[in-house]
Amino acid sequence: MSDVNIVTLIGVALLLVGFYGALSRPNVIKMIVGFAIADTGVNMIIVAVGYLPGRTAPILDSAADAANAARTMVDPIPQALVLTAIVIGLAVTALMLSFAVRMRRSGGGMAIDSYGEQKW
């Protein structure tokens, strides 16, 4: 258990809690919150996988030369993926919330069961 990163465990827990909230609740807003929590868990898992202990930030300057960069710095790709995923997750959450507002304004409730027979 000592080789498992605590951030990875928290990320997996958030992912599971988010999926449970999204799949077990009939309320649309609670489903959206569940997806947002799951998105945060995925981002934490990606950051934890990309972390290497004892390495520095991926910035080339006078303190770190290019010849030893692969041995002394962390990989910047997971960090860039997480930054992109945060922006995409925010946009998807905003889109889902706009759909929820539109569903509410159309006269229906917030329960997903009341929209079962509609065709989009």
Our measurement of the distance from residue 90's CA atom to the centroid of its chain's CA atoms, rounded to an integer in Å, reads 9
Q: Which residues of the chain have pLDDT under 50?
A: none
CA distance 58 to 36: 29
Cβ(64)–Cβ(73) under 8 Å? yes
Residue by residue, DSSP assigns 70-106 as: HHHB--HHHHHHHHHHHHHHHHHHHHHHHHHHHHHHT
CATH code for the structural domain at 6-52+72-111: 1.10.287.3510
The confidence score (pLDDT) of residue 120 equals: 56
Cβ(100)–Cβ(26) under 8 Å? no
- Report CA torsion sign: 21, 27, 32, 36: negative
The confidence score (pLDDT) of residue 105 equals: 87
